[in-house]
Structure 1
Amino acid sequence: MRRIVVAASLAVLAGPSVLVIVLALFVGSMVGAACSTATPVTVGPVPEQLRATAADGSPARLDRTQLGHAATIMAVGSRITGVGPEGLLVALMAGLTESGLRMYANTTAYPTSANFPHDGDGADNDSLGIFQMRPAAGWGSVTDLMDPTYQARAFFGGPDGPNGGSPRGLLDISSWRDLPAGAAAQAVEVSAYPERYARYEPVAAAILAALTMPVAAASSEPAPVAGSARVFPLPDDTWSPTSRYGMRRNPVTQVWALHAGADLAAPAGTPVLATADGRVVAAGPGGGLGNRITLTHGTGAGPAASDTVASVYGHLLDGGIHVTVGDLVTAGQHIGDVGSTGNSSGPHLHFELRPGGPDRPAIDSQPWLDGAAHLSAGELITAAAPTSSCPANAANSGVNP
């Protein structure tokens, strides 16, 4: 089996409000054909820019749009059993090679592709999107392939992939882990230029490192905060997932941008629960989030800002905020009610986790929501990845902002 050590040299340029996390990521050997022993990848904040160097020495500079697409690919792949960091690396290499991690329409072959969010107009036969997939080759319809999340699911394939193994996604190729990463990308893309993919391996490694949220090993996790259990923010059997973290067109503003939270549709008035013990630092109107509550939670690790995580609850009902700034709340406390205020297309809760505090960027909170039933407040940060090393597949299927 291949052991990858990602030690890419990179410079990350971030705006003043963007938390940049850079780590050396080691991908260990794998157990069995489907399950990685490596720590599951959790997608962190998206920086404004990233600079890296390709294998041939040429410079690469990626902007926030390209990195947002990378975050979507990583968020999708991290929830599919058997992908792991090795599979994410292959997918990023393919996306960089095929489109430069841009979402391309193709108005020559499919004029209607211009009706979907896109970053430019491509002209490679009838290829579409980040991975330049072709409807004629069976990858999906124009509507399917103009959705970055669908493209990522199709690239990874496997038992839950949208194409049932034809065309083959990465997980449909039994020997992909034994191949060089560039050859694995070629096995999915079946390009006339198979040598192209290896050039982008260092760039893909730099992206993977820059967008991966570190998760502390169990032996070094901060001590739990006494009496603080993790609680799902809505009661059981009251909600359904709609829109996940990742790039998308906001259905209200029609702006193509990063959706920084997890949306959980629920009837108006459904109780919203504090996910852990904490302090209320915001309670009221919050721009596009409408009525929102923000809590801060200490991890028990120390007094620094990095030892704090904020949870955000957006689009609450008018009159549906039941706490005030400064209040101390306990895990499971009824703090608000589901509504549809702000930029919202229907009643739902928009939930975010922001390591470092309320002014920091949000991370992909879905793995944390999918995690174990009871975690300490300290584990709001350290357990931001699923407790299983083989997280289940889950796709972005909704429209609520």
Structure 2
Amino acid sequence: MFKKLAIAGIALLFLAPSIMLVSIGALINPAQAANATCLSTGLTVGTIPDELDVTDASGYSFTLNHQQLTHAATIITTGSAIEGVNRDGVQIALMAALTESTLRMLSNTSHYPDSADYPNDGNGSDNDSLGLFQMRPQSGWGTVADLMDPNYQVRAFFGGPAGPNYPSPRGLLDIAGRESMDKGEAAQSVEVSAYPDRYRNYESVAEQILQALTTNTTAQPAGGGAVLGPVPETSRVVFPMPEGTWVMTSPYGMREHPITGEYKLHSGTDFAGPDGTPILAAADGVVTVAEYSGGYGGLVVIEHTVDGKTVATAYAHSWETGIRVTAGDRVTAGQHIADVGSSGNSTGPHLHFEVRIGGTNGEYTDPAVWLEQHGAADLDAGEITDPGGCTTSEGNES
């Protein structure tokens, strides 16, 4: 049965650092103003909660306190005011700060005793690194005074022509090809860490922070598009490809990347089928993304209301000319929205199908289980040919 194919995630040994004492001076932040601040990204930062329970990609759960969330709000507010920074960029910055400092402004008295004179959340000991992003004065990121200012660190992380360090060290906006990188790789390109794979562990945490601290006034997801008005409850849920046209080649879960060999989460389920096979909307909804999107290739994302809750489905790897809808279109379950292709990070014609709980930028869940739970077409109609790892796809998984 299809429902037996879910692959359990492998627990990683990431432990969130303990929460340190905070300085009253560090609590002052424009993101905490009584009225929410509307940002150029379309994000609106509202009231900062006292704490937020989060879970990382390894399955480890921990609690972020008010001060850590205040720093997250600074990253969102300051970053979103920089030209060229979109929601993806903000999420990448959050991932970097979570990894480097667990969203704490850290002094480093062993190298810079005067760093303790500035508002801080504790004392770090990583080389001569300081602050949220653990930037090093000796590497040219700035002075101690600069780097003990969270707003300065955020501007330095994003960089760009208006950044305080331009042209070196490079910020996110200075990284060539960043749009085609996954978020963990993009964070590493700025931080240049000795442990390059650890940033991906916090991608889901960064998304949880964004959902808790902000709303999106333009409903613009990472890839663009907009939801026009409320999405009505769907009339039904159907399988995303016609019966008899597909073969399941790689399930949702941890696996070895078929192109890079990296062991990571496969965020969807792959259904191989002939080039040009129709791809069907799994439920009634509104298209939020319809474009060519890096590793996903030709990508369509649709938001639905299912059982009174918002959920999005994503359909990847169509040829750019195979996308038959545009952002803002209302579609019905079973509507032909795209054609099977092999664009982006793909090694053969197939549909990479995702289900995201919460909407376009929500959390991934097992599509096979979700389809079965909602009475989609016979899930045993396709035969799994490669249960151990996909040989035909790689979703962007961003």
TM-score normalised by the chain length of structure 2: 0.45
TM-score normalised by the chain length of structure 1: 0.45
> Relative contact order (alpha carbons < 8 A, sep ≥ 6): 1 or 2 greater?
1
**Structure label with greater radius of gyration:** 2
